[in-house]
Structure 1
């Protein structure tokens, strides 16, 4: 029968602990250290480590409260440690025993399921502790942590969010607790860019170390709780960070998952836009249309480094051959685009439709991922273009075949680079020879890294290879309205602060098949993107096609001029942006970041969702609405208003700052590194 340790036992344990924490000197004496200690008081057992403490409730339902300098920075909520067994959710209840041995605090608790117990282990380290736990006495198939969101202030991180308000396409709450997040397919195989990392305004953080699918909710249904559930019964492994600033938490996380070792984009790809055909034409594209598009861009002085032909150039998905009816002479098309001064790129995927010529060949040669339920047959997946198999990158022969097909295509038609779409794995499929979801992310990263991605980047995440590869990260498709423009900004803040610094918004103007963007949305989006690391463009400010009606939409000369001005501003900022890229390669710091990363004591910055820092010197505050003005928050410092040529002392709020369509509010922190270069670009 388990029981609490007596006072006498605690005293003896403390004495033994003191001996273990006092290492012998060369003379056999001891000297104090500051590792950690455990004490018991009525109702609690407390682990004290350098800079923080963790209190465990002993007189009621199991609960953990983390404090720094005596202030609560993170606390569990109801059903703190929960698990599913036999299809029913259970949770830990009363603490029944604890022990401190070899630097690990082990907790044992009863549960709501008779005969089942939870054993949790807390291992302290400077500015963090490991929290691992298991269920004994029953078979569990899901384990989850529950936190009280309000205990830590506002929450950030996560990546692209699923929300009932349209996330991640038209809604990305910032902070996360300002909306409702609910994602049942939160995993390395998800098409959405996500990582199991969250951080808070209280400078706490949570990293769940798993390769399994998670079910994550934050304030779902307005319940004020964060639930982080792993769909597995194996040991739940979490790291809780306890730091002095949110940026320090971010750096701790990067220390685990790695920082970029390179940037896959070149200086020119940072300096000029990529023009992609998707939102301009969707799948109703052909050789004449793409050439007219490129010619219009060129003739209107709309600079760019590449024109990329997106979806619907193939005869069938996976054939890797041009549709001869739509593209009678693809080499001549490529040559003409080059003559206009652009590189030429193509959209590709590893998903091979069942009606393509290559499918039968790939299936017969065992080049496709196998079905998880029946590994004797290829896995089939349904996507927006039909039903397909997926090339198995863990099979060296399959990878070699796929790459040789790509090389022949690129050499024949003078293709300079590729936009890889869809995913490299699906949860309906089985990994080859024990390969996991994260292994396929690594294999996909290695494949993509051998090609010029032309600033279109790639969507790989959740693992060291994804972080270290240094890919440009393009967002998931956005709508064409104001809500999507706002979501494109907050989503970049989220992606940047989970370790993907080379971000761009979705295609300027959106790409979700909604009515063509209005002039105002298109211009404001271009202005916003000009203050991002890269510009990813599609909808032409000359004219476009409304996908909902099939009708041509003509924009006016002012639209072209303002779009062209945004491109020019971004190109002038390129030397400053390139400095930030090189800084990121040294430190892992995000380029686009929330104001509070640079000004952690400025409490007003923690809820600003429509401004950001571009490196340390540039504060961008473009108008993301149809209003004629906006309020702008300036943190502490001396700021130069680039639109009015004046100096402003912060912290302050500029109310009703006028924003006619030609004005993009931005400010330079005159005392920040890089201020001189930013001023030269923006004055």
Structure 2
């Protein structure tokens, strides 16, 4: 057979590559050097026709390649990969690029001019508003494209927005804690997001909710909106099938659209922008043992005697933990930072007793100072409080669940020093080991310090909190890259005490951990939203579920608690205590495996608790599983989250060890009617995954 000849150009290239490789390298080194010397993928190219413009981005060594089609008669953007649509903008009636002016929504229509220069496609687009056009710039890269646009002409907009047809991208995820008509985030968190409805106004950097402007889809596309302004986000609102991402600003709209091979690749692209944790704020012990917090056990009806009885009761029943935190209410007035002497006659002795029982001692704190606090006047007179956005000559006052307050301005060095000095004095005087920071660091009603933006307060808050032991409870900061890199534990928004909230706690952790906050915990086990005390079944099932997550955050005692709706004591039976203790023991045995996942996350940024499809992207059924998750690569958690004797368990492809039944089970199947008596929380180990032996040893 005749050997094919090579062209002179190919021979010269091969010779040049050979000459470029240094001698003395191993075959592996030479292969690596050759790969690094491989020419870059061909540049994106533009083709045009009377009806459309098409940007084609070729497949690269690590990128799948894609095509972006711009329809010109009525502006529409359609992204496709391997010939299939993976993301498309909303239909003409809504419009792809929209803006509000004079209280009415308008949108871009016909492309009137375009240029393709230096790798950027620039569009001029007419709009439904007279004398007004949109200028848009699309800059493609190997696995994403940048979409920047603004409104020019007669209209003066106050909002700009992008709109997509949700079904074009399959299912949607991300967002973080979602406001929904069905009660989210307290009792509802749709997963995927399009399976319910999201109507989230005031979605922004000052929000108390853990949110980031990042969404990703089952068809491996993603959207990141680069803004520091408040957004109005709606997904399938009213069942309209649309995703609308509106910014309350007329500044240029900046978005990144990711196009990848898997959802995990999209997530990694996003983490490449916002950053991965540089460390874990929680210690090994804080991963291994729960933190106990007084809130759901007592709410504000707490005092020194009750807290010590609570700690003693946990201790005597063999229910351990690394910390006992005194939550709201301990101050004489909010912002005073002094113990109420009537309720806490000897806080130093209280702290000592808690330490003697084996717990660290923690306190709930806030930067919000109520108007009736004896510190408010001093802080206001010295300019230590944020100013009102409406009148910057006056302090900003905000209403919260405990009254009306001002907020310490962390951008003012003197204010920060004053606040921190008071914190340190308090901790030193009473042997306080760490703090639970609560409330936000800025409010939309407040004006940032001169030279600062609202997003800066997430950074300032993160930097402040990072100087204190947060005791495995963390702090609710988000949006800014500092929050991503700080490595805080993230606790959820308060949950109810019913089954709906237990289910929401699972899907919400999946949402939070896949927007870049991997060290997640549910709200307090059993809920904390002021509803009737959790039933035995909810409390046990919640503890079992939390035991298969990175950290455990506890409050309601499985021995006895208080019903906030009746004021009556609720006493649980011995089985409740035993099963709760068993869940804590399982989590403690898993701690070495979990700690290894923490270290892996610090290297890669990948979440510890994650949806099945992150590990099994070709498993179509995994994209709608709402009540299972992977804990690292080896452990599949499928605890019972309903009041039922059985459940279905979906197993992705692979070979799995069924811990409850001590058997090996082939994957790529659904186990129906899997028995779940109250003592059983189904969990499976992927026998061929990294860490499988360590997980087996812990779970057996």
TM range (shorter): over 0.9
Deviation at 1:54, TM superposition (A): 0.5
Equivalent position of 2:110 in the other structure: 94
User: Are positions 1:80 and 2:80 aligned together?
Assistant: no
Equivalent position of 1:134 in the other structure: 150
User: Are positions 1:45 and 2:53 aligned together?
Assistant: yes
Structure 1 counterpart SS, 2:696: helix
Deviation at 1:33, TM superposition (A): 5.8
Deviation at 1:592, TM superposition (A): 0.2
- List runs of 5+ in structure 2 lacking aligned partners: 1-15, 17-38, 59-64
Cα distance between partner residues in 2 of 1:419 and 1:656? 42
Deviation at 1:456, TM superposition (A): 1.0
Equivalent position of 1:541 in the other structure: 558
Q: Which of 231, 241, 250 in structure 1 is aligned with 2:258?
A: 241
Cα distance between partner residues in 2 of 1:126 and 1:230? 27
Cα distance between partner residues in 1 of 2:273 and 2:116? 26
Cα distance between partner residues in 2 of 1:248 and 1:310? 40
Question: Where do 1:586-597 residues align within 5 Å?
Answer: 586-597=603-614
User: Are positions 1:113 and 2:137 aligned together?
Assistant: no
Cα distance between partner residues in 2 of 1:650 and 1:532? 22
Deviation at 1:434, TM superposition (A): 2.3
Q: Which of 35, 55, 59 in structure 1 is aligned with 2:43?
A: 35
Deviation at 1:583, TM superposition (A): 0.3
Q: Which of 265, 277, 280 in structure 2 is aligned with 1:263?
A: 280
Cα distance between partner residues in 2 of 1:108 and 1:371? 39
Q: Which of 71, 76, 80 in structure 2 is aligned with 1:63?
A: 76
Question: 1:29-49 CA deviation, whole Å, 9 max, x = no partner?
Answer: xx9961111111342110111
Question: 1:319-376 CA deviation, whole Å, 9 max, x = no partner?
Answer: 0000000000000000000000000000000000000011011001100000111111
User: Are positions 1:436 and 2:436 aligned together?
Assistant: no
Cα distance between partner residues in 2 of 1:436 and 1:491? 28
Cα distance between partner residues in 2 of 1:130 and 1:209? 10
Instruction: Report the count of equivalent residues.
Output: 653
Cα distance between partner residues in 2 of 1:435 and 1:428? 15
Deviation at 1:98, TM superposition (A): 1.2
Structure 1 counterpart SS, 2:450: helix
Structure 2 counterpart SS, 1:673: coil
Question: 1:379-409 CA deviation, whole Å, 9 max, x = no partner?
Answer: 0000000000000000011001101101111
User: Are positions 1:272 and 2:286 aligned together?
Assistant: no
Q: Which of 138, 143, 148 in structure 2 is aligned with 1:122?
A: 138
> Structure 2 length normalisation: TM-score?
0.93
- List runs of 5+ in structure 1 lacking aligned partners: 1-24, 26-30
Question: 1:633-670 CA deviation, whole Å, 9 max, x = no partner?
Answer: 00000000001110011101000000000001000000
Structure 2 counterpart SS, 1:400: helix
User: Are positions 1:496 and 2:513 aligned together?
Assistant: yes
Equivalent position of 2:166 in the other structure: 149
Equivalent position of 1:54 in the other structure: 68
Equivalent position of 1:354 in the other structure: 371
Equivalent position of 2:10 in the other structure: none
Q: Which moved more, 1:46-55 or 1:316-325?
A: 46-55
Q: Which moved more, 1:200-209 or 1:133-142?
A: 133-142
| Cα distance change of structure 1 residues 412 and 32 upon mapping to structure 2, 3 Å threshold | closer
Cα distance between partner residues in 2 of 1:679 and 1:601? 26
Deviation at 1:141, TM superposition (A): 1.3
Q: Which of 364, 368, 384 in structure 1 is aligned with 2:385?
A: 368
Cα distance between partner residues in 2 of 1:488 and 1:434? 38
Question: Where do 1:544-583 residues align within 5 Å?
Answer: 544-583=561-600
Cα distance between partner residues in 1 of 2:204 and 2:268? 22
Name segments (4+ residues, structure 1) moved above 6 Å: none
Cα distance between partner residues in 2 of 1:108 and 1:54? 17
Question: Where do 1:174-253 residues align within 5 Å?
Answer: 174-253=191-270
Deviation at 1:86, TM superposition (A): 2.0
User: Are positions 1:528 and 2:541 aligned together?
Assistant: no
| Cα distance change of structure 1 residues 33 and 279 upon mapping to structure 2, 3 Å threshold | closer
> Structure 1 length normalisation: TM-score?
0.95
Deviation at 1:574, TM superposition (A): 0.1
Deviation at 1:184, TM superposition (A): 1.1
Equivalent position of 2:482 in the other structure: 465
Cα distance between partner residues in 1 of 2:369 and 2:331? 11
Equivalent position of 2:120 in the other structure: 104
Equivalent position of 2:411 in the other structure: 394
Equivalent position of 2:395 in the other structure: 378
Equivalent position of 1:17 in the other structure: none
Q: Which of 399, 415, 427 in structure 2 is aligned with 1:410?
A: 427
Structure 1 counterpart SS, 2:75: coil
Deviation at 1:433, TM superposition (A): 1.3
Equivalent position of 1:483 in the other structure: 500
Deviation at 1:87, TM superposition (A): 2.0
User: Are positions 1:284 and 2:297 aligned together?
Assistant: no
Q: Which moved more, 1:78-87 or 1:636-645?
A: 78-87
Equivalent position of 2:23 in the other structure: none
Structure 1 counterpart SS, 2:567: coil
Cα distance between partner residues in 2 of 1:42 and 1:440? 49
Q: CA RMSD in A?
A: 0.9
Equivalent position of 1:14 in the other structure: none
Cα distance between partner residues in 2 of 1:58 and 1:348? 56
Question: 1:423-466 CA deviation, whole Å, 9 max, x = no partner?
Answer: 00001001111211110000000000000000111000001001
Structure 1 counterpart SS, 2:79: strand
Question: 1:1-59 CA deviation, whole Å, 9 max, x = no partner?
Answer: xxxxxxxxxxxxxxxxxxxxxxxx9xxxxx99611111113421101112111001123
Structure 1 counterpart SS, 2:654: strand
Cα distance between partner residues in 1 of 2:534 and 2:566? 13
Cα distance between partner residues in 1 of 2:289 and 2:295? 18
User: Are positions 1:447 and 2:464 aligned together?
Assistant: yes
Structure 2 counterpart SS, 1:352: strand
Cα distance between partner residues in 2 of 1:370 and 1:42? 55
Deviation at 1:249, TM superposition (A): 0.1
Structure 2 counterpart SS, 1:77: coil
